[in-house]
Amino acid sequence: MIRGFLTVLVLLVPFGAVQAHEVRPAIADLTTPDGHVSLVLRMSLEPVLAGIDLEGVEDTNETDRSDAVDQLRALSADAFKARIEAETGDVLDRVTIRVDGTDVPLRVTEIQVDEIPDVSLPRESRLFLVGTLPDGAQALSVGWPSEYGTLILRQMDVDDGFTGYLTGGYSDPIAIEDSSGWGFLGGIFR
pLDDT tens-place string over residues 96-126: 999 998 999 999 999 999 988 787 788 899 9
The pTM for the full model equals: 0.80
Asked whether the beta carbons of 174 and 141 are under 8 A apart, the reply is: yes
Per the prediction, the chain carries an average pLDDT of: 82
| For residues 151-172, average pLDDT | 95
Structure-model confidence comparison of residues 92 and 127, the more confident one: 127
Asked whether the beta carbons of 110 and 128 are under 8 A apart, the reply is: yes
| For residues 70-94, average pLDDT | 91
Structure-model confidence comparison of residues 15 and 23, the more confident one: 23
